[in-house]
A and B are shown apart, each in its own frame.
Chain A
Amino acid sequence: MSNPMNTVARLLVALITLSAAALYAQQPAPAEKAAATPAAAPAPKEQPRWMQGRPAEMSNSTLAPIAPHLTGRPASELPISKLKVPPGFKVEVWVDGLPEARSMALGDKGTVFVSNRNLKDIYAVVDRGGKREVKKVLKGLDTPNGIAFHKGTLYVAEHTRITRYDGIEDKLDSPPAPTVVIEGLPKQVGHFWKFLAMGPDGKLYFNIGAPGNIVMPGYIQGTISRVDPKTRLMDNYAYGVRNSVGFDWHPKTKQLWFTEHGRDWMGDDMPSDELNVAKSKGQHFGYPYCHQGDTLDPEFGKNRSCKEFTPPALNLGAHIAPLGMRFYTGKMFPAEYQNSMLIAQHGSWNRTVKHGYNVIRVTVDDKGKVLKSTPFLEGFLEDPKATPPTWGRPVDVLQLKDGSILVSDDFNGIIYRVSYKK
């Protein structure tokens, strides 16, 4: 990425956003231009957004995105006993009735906050002696997928802004009004939902996805960016990231690890979704030029080389859709789990034989090298060729104070708990 800019004031962000928005408004995708001639001959018309980038030879595909059950589904109606965890571990339903449960954040006093993407609410789950009480604490937000909790404050990343709710854990029944940390982020048509996490440097990290499947992103799009909640200054941290909806910092090295979804419509097995590590600020991870570290994009890869970009630490599989991930630092699980990653994989739609819909564990060394990847939570996938192929879709993982792990499932609005006993 040329001309890296260290610090961008809010005003500048707004300006960039406006010009970027104008640019996207004025420049239709290539497919639109092709279809702009009125009364065109029977050629494919402009493609829906999720089909953008699909070649003609795949035009008979009937692959369609999968959507959550927006009312949630009660655990009592689902085959929970099919879930599998490694020997010694136990998986159970922690709470249900949270429609479209997405990202999770743990309050200082043990409250579990849970976000929405299509819906507009933030839930608070309070554990009262083994009985979980669910409250809708925030309502009417715009795509509030990203949440983070730090020193008494809940931060929420919506479509175009990040806000803070100070002291919310003491006021769950009458939550405070939001204070804006940053606003004027791009209002865009694709990948507009955000993941949010507090970094070891006290800055809030969030993704600004590419505004489509395979398109040229603007300067602050296709990035992981960060904002200092004290100064409200923002800068880009990582470039060439199509969309990351899960990241965390290695407990020892403090390096940023993140999951990333690869582009669609290059076939069942291409390209792989990625697990990346940003060892320093300013690295470029390839999008839209290079995918999975070794494959130039058929359109955008001309005149580029994959050697220009930071390759993934691990290729996870095509369309497997890795989302939330955290390093395990608790005391409950066996010692080998220390500092290994648990990654929720939402599962594929852009693949004739579906895979994913699980949680995996990835072990890495202190140098950023991946040692191994093993299944951790499985059993959602029922029939890889059915529509839908699964009865649940993991989104995020969260470690509780006792060292057990929560896994959210937006398809059903359920949170599962995985615990271990010797």
Chain B
Amino acid sequence: MQIAAVLFFVPAAGYAAAAAAVPPQAATCVACHGAGGNSVNPVVPSLAGQPKQFITTQLVMFREGNRKNAEMAPFAANLSNTDLNELAAYFSAQPLVPPVRTLHAEKTDAGRLLTQQYFCVNCHGQTLRGQMHIPRLAGQQAEYLRVQLLGFKAATRFDMDGQMSSAVQALTPADIDLLADYISALR
């Protein structure tokens, strides 16, 4: 698919300073996830502004081996419940600095329609900012979103009770590309 979007990234340093207590383990996280959990790498997700319960749930599932990822597994393996709660509290409190993306208007309209047709907005919220254990999507890195959607479609990505896997079965490859671009550009 041709990405008809103008797409570039801005460094997001400076936001980490906003937090009062930075857990010691966060130093490891930000090496990949960016300062304050704002990723500047398109394949690495931002953690900033995610619901706290989403971060704890995913870290538990990395640790328990339900969500499989060679990069994350060794880090999660050593985290106690207290550790990961502290990390989740910290990153969820950081303001998100989304990647700067501009979409053509027709893609914005088509993307918005897809988020309604595929029921994304029902759980992730009308503005796709997540709630409880359900992640914020708006402003997430597009390549990361794409890989997750493909993983759900293949039923290889961890998924509580299989809800996302069933949600994306009808997505076409073009739908996945458009959704990832649209959602990433959403503020």
Contacts and interface: CB of A to CB of B under 8 A. Distances in A.
A69 interface: yes
B140 interface: no
Contacts of A120: 64
A99 B171 CA distance: 35
A50 interface: yes
A35 B163 contact: no
Contacts of B160: 67, 118
Contacts of A43: 117
Contacts of B164: 48
A82 B40 CA distance: 45
A67 B122 contact: no
Interface in A1-47: 32, 35-36, 38-39, 42-47
Interface string A334-377: 00000000000000000000000000000000000000000000
B131 A64 contact: yes
Given A42-B117, A388-B132, A51 B122 contact: yes
Contacts of B57: 67, 70
B53 A35 contact: no
Contacts of B25: none
A226 to B, nearest CB: 26
A71 interface: yes
Contact of B123 (A36, A64, A189, A190): A64
A119 B122 contact: no
Contacts of B118: 45
Contacts of B172: 38-39
Contacts of A64: 122-123, 131-132, 134
Contact of A46 (B81, B134, B163, B170): B170
Given A62-B122, A119-B64, A48 B131 contact: no
A65 B60 contact: no
A44 B163 CA distance: 17
A69 B81 CA distance: 11
A387 interface: yes
A49 B56 contact: no
A38 B173 CA distance: 11
Interface string B148-187: 0000000000001111101101111000000000000000
A50 B159 CA distance: 13
Contacts of A71: 56, 60, 81, 84-85
A66 interface: yes
B170 A45 contact: yes
The size bracket of the interface on A is 35 or more
A72 interface: yes
A72 B119 contact: no
A48 B163 contact: yes
A340 B47 CA distance: 49
Interface in A98-129: 99, 118-120
A218 B80 CA distance: 42
B146 interface: no
Interface string A382-417: 000001100000000000000000000000000000
Contacts of A69: 53, 56
B56 A70 contact: yes
B125 interface: yes
A305 interface: no
A61 interface: yes
B131 to A, nearest CB: 6
A32 B172 CA distance: 13
A49 B134 CA distance: 16
Q: Which of B117, B162, B166 lies at the interface centre, i.e. has the most chain A CB atoms within 10 A of its CB?
A: B166
Interface string A263-305: 0000000000000000000000000000000000000000000
B113 interface: yes
Name the residue in B122, B164, B171 with the highest tally of chain A Cβ atoms < 10 Å from its Cβ: B122
Interface in A57-78: 59, 61-67, 69-72
A119 B56 CA distance: 13
B163 A65 contact: yes
Nearest to A72: B81
A71 B83 CA distance: 10
A387 B161 contact: no
B103 interface: no
A51 B125 CA distance: 15
Contacts of A49: 161-163, 166
Contacts of A35: 170
Contacts of B113: 42
24 contacts: A36-B170, A38-B172, A44-B119, A45-B118, A46-B166, A47-B166, A48-B163, A48-B166, A48-B167, A49-B161, A49-B163, A51-B119, A51-B122, A62-B121, A62-B125, A64-B122, A64-B132, A64-B134, A67-B57, A67-B160, A71-B81, A118-B160, A120-B64, A190-B162
Interface of A: 32, 35-36, 38-39, 42-51, 59, 61-67, 69-72, 99, 118-120, 189-190, 387-388
Closest 7 CB pairs of A and B: A48-B167, A46-B170, A71-B81, A64-B123, A67-B133, A49-B166, A70-B60
